[in-house]
Chains A and B, each alone.
Chain A
């Protein structure tokens, strides 16, 4: 028996593709732009506009129809209790001077720890929001903007401004890019991250000015070096108050005449933003970034230009842009569907959604960090590189290991074990948890350097290294954040968390009995894409072989109890480790 849902979808997909090809290639009249609305299309929409669909959501989406589902995703917000956070700050210098050194150090440590926890809790709250699926598009857009207007706690060094920045993004995620750009040019975390608090009249610092034009609005080639220098002057005096709020310092502002992108005047920061928004390159840049993110392929210049014009006509409003995109038949074309490589957050949250289980946020976040995407720790001001760059030989294997972890099959120790190396020397002794170096993990134990830990030399730099600690302390593949992520997973292990899954019951309910039916159903439910025929055949073969090994007849597996359930989990582990499981 064929896998019903998605196999049928394939034919439809071909039709959509053909239509899209006609529309794109021959500029056919708009009347021919039709999306065949089926399970495949619904899942695609949920993959991109959210973090994957539950089987029930797919059925519901098909029944609702495209227009209604798109409208709901684009317009329906949910009422969520906001996260409580506060400004956590080191004591005033005057107070610090009165304390004995040990007490002072202890106090500072406690404050740093509180601040670290606050960001960790916020990250967890955010990941839970993504996994809940209550407002998929909002969370997808918050993640998009977090990579677009990015700031790192490694430089900002406080949780509060970053949570505040995330709230700003959350508020405007589907609103106006225009407003976002104005707000980001005054955002305390951003001003700190890009050194604008030291951008002063007569002593300009170009960091914010350059990245604003290069990454936040125009792109290289659409401004000159002179524009960068002049824009930096316009931004002079924008800083952060002692309380951590935006503050304008008129005496540090260079009020002189500047020439920026062809306009001349006594410009300030807001004028600069207006000038940037007036450039044709600006909607083009934003449209291109959004299209590439949502479609997973670089848009053609014509498609970019088309959407850029639309964005400009709508005064940079994001909501109509996304509505148009999700209704656009070209969004469902062959080149796009199933071809986007999931990012680490997509992968971890997607696993929990497709398995239909609640995975603790610490595992979602720790897993994503292991795979190279630690929220609030972007690698640089460009955010994370999306697409195939996520997949290395190491990260691909670690994704599978993380899936095994979530399924309760793989322990951290199993990953670190070298027992399969036969003649190799004994496996390294497990290091203590705090094994990262200051560089790896920051000044505090999780890389949340409130007080400039990166300036310290490496711990034990001159020590002998017969037994390398920090290397063995990293689960992956992970560089920065590897140590802390591992710690998060171990914490979940120590807490005794296990996923409550009953594949046997689930499959019974779905009416799957035979090897082929079970394999197909598992592939359909656990993959975000349609499995190709060769994979389908291999997975069926694997299941048939292992089922026979249990001395159970084909069709009776689900009655075989614990051994069957364990086999089904192994099957799920295998499926989630496949190259196919990295796509959406």
Chain B
């Protein structure tokens, strides 16, 4: 019996959203008998897709994808304080060797990254140095698209890389909560027509308020769609899918958040809130495999120091707390975090105490089962391309490693190419 048949039987009396997604995924033949009429009761039903190869896993492996928007200055994050070129190039925003959190005699973490430093010392934070891609683009938007799609052509090439990962790893999983973005607008990474992400900035209030007894059911029906009808193709069909996902996830998300008791206090800023919500979903095991979060405000053309220090403080407070909160819990130990930004910044600071758009920068990969320490190779500080660092590791090697080693899917399928995998994970 195929998984799909099981689902059909399970959902015989209650139509699950899986049906809708199956329709969406082109599997309408398999559920031809399922009527798309309404049902008053629709208990949540989730299809657990067994993870290949690791039977000891009780909680599903999860990826938390953290996007630092605006172009994070890599040289102020992992500081090469021991490098003369660095010290000469950054006259006003240089971070002194005595202030950095030293990793070795050459580099150290930004002074605000105290929590992350202790996680690094604990072997749970990997720093992949010099990440980038060939023919770098210095436009925020185009470069971000490349990171979000893992394709040189950006959006022109198709869906976000998380969507591609879903197709490769969980093509049969139709749960609305499979991919979640915590934030106002979902980044293109999670853009997918087959596995659209749900998104919310705060779990509280994540609902549609019904003002009459039957209204909620009527609202839910507005998310139903019959693939055969022309109206359900195109944008209206997709919006109906969004409504169905919203209704499927509304109670689960709010319940998970309301009942969650973190072990460590999260900072009370937007970023801290989003990570707390992420931890709640992971802890409640609602079936999310990828959770996307964002920290913005890294575009530091002018008076960078204050701005960047503040970003680092928030990054450390939020992400450091999150990692500590999860560490040692069964669900939390099955989480890997990837931290990226669309580009680093130019080696030489500009005339206004800031830095203009650059190229290569480090990525972070963190989690209990991450092989911490330094990975890749620090980019040359002297052999620059028009003032910019030349990348030494293609960022898609990091994605590929997580796709292949963490989720057991074929990274070449998800990324349309093979990349050298990195020893980032203890799996």
Contacts and interface: CB of A to CB of B under 8 A. Distances in A.
Interface of A: 194-195, 198-200, 202-207, 210, 214, 220, 225, 228, 339, 341, 372, 379-382, 385, 388-398, 400-401, 404, 409-410, 414-416, 418, 420-421, 424-425, 427-428, 437-440, 452, 454-466, 468-472, 474-480, 482, 532-535, 538, 542, 545-546, 549, 567, 570, 573-574, 577-580, 582-583
A445 to B, nearest CB: 16
Interface string B137-160: 111111000000000000000000
Contact of A468 (B139, B181, B231, B268): B268
A195 B139 contact: no
B313 interface: yes
Contacts of B314: 439, 458
Given A203-B351, A206-B357, A425-B259, A479 B201 contact: yes
18 contacts: A195-B354, A202-B351, A214-B141, A389-B185, A392-B200, A393-B199, A400-B208, A452-B306, A458-B272, A461-B268, A461-B313, A462-B267, A465-B266, A470-B270, A471-B202, A471-B273, A477-B202, A580-B239
A477 B206 contact: yes
* Most central of B140, B142, B301 by chain A CB within 10 Å: B301
B57 interface: no
B199 A392 contact: yes
Interface stretch (B26-34, B161-169, B209-217, B396-404): B209-217
B423 to A, nearest CB: 35
A354 B224 CA distance: 26
A404 B209 contact: yes
A457 B185 CA distance: 24
Nearest to B69: A380
B219 A205 contact: no
Nearest to A538: B221
Interface string B242-275: 1101100111001100110010011111111100
Interface of B: 69-70, 137-142, 176, 181, 183-186, 198-209, 211-212, 214-215, 218-219, 221-223, 226, 229, 231, 234-236, 238-240, 242-243, 245-246, 249-251, 254-255, 258-259, 262, 265-273, 276-277, 296-297, 299, 301-302, 306-307, 310, 313-314, 317, 350-352, 354, 356-357, 386
Nearest to A296: B235
Q: Which of B205, B258, B272, B306 has the most CB of A within 10 A?
A: B205
Nearest to A461: B267
Contacts of A452: 306
A440 B270 contact: yes
B310 A538 contact: no
A381 B301 CA distance: 13
Contacts of B209: 400-401, 404, 410, 414-415
B214 A220 contact: no
Contacts of B205: 398, 415-416, 474-477
Contact of A479 (B198, B270, B352): B270
A579 B242 contact: yes
Nearest to A531: B231
Contacts of A478: 184, 201-202
A356 to B, nearest CB: 21
A424 B258 contact: yes
Contacts of A476: 184, 200-202, 205
Most chain A CB atoms below 10 A, which of B142, B259, B265: B265
B354 A538 contact: no
B71 to A, nearest CB: 11
Contacts of B185: 372, 379, 385, 389-390, 392, 479
A380 B272 contact: no
A522 to B, nearest CB: 13
B258 A393 contact: no
Contacts of A480: 184, 270
A421 B255 contact: yes
Contact of B219 (A372, A393, A532, A574): A574
A195 B201 contact: no
A472 B310 CA distance: 24
Contacts of A472: 202, 204
A372 B351 contact: no
A196 B239 CA distance: 41
Contacts of A475: 205
B351 A579 contact: no
Contacts of A482: 184, 201-202
A258 B268 CA distance: 49
Given A394-B200, A477-B184, A482-B201, A458 B242 contact: no
Contacts of B208: 397, 400-401, 577
A52 to B, nearest CB: 18
A488 to B, nearest CB: 15
Identify which of B186, B242, B314 gathers the most chain A CB atoms within 10 Å of its CB.
Answer: B242
Shortest 5 CB-CB contacts between residues of A and residues of B: A203-B351, A198-B352, A479-B184, A579-B239, A394-B200
A194 B271 CA distance: 25
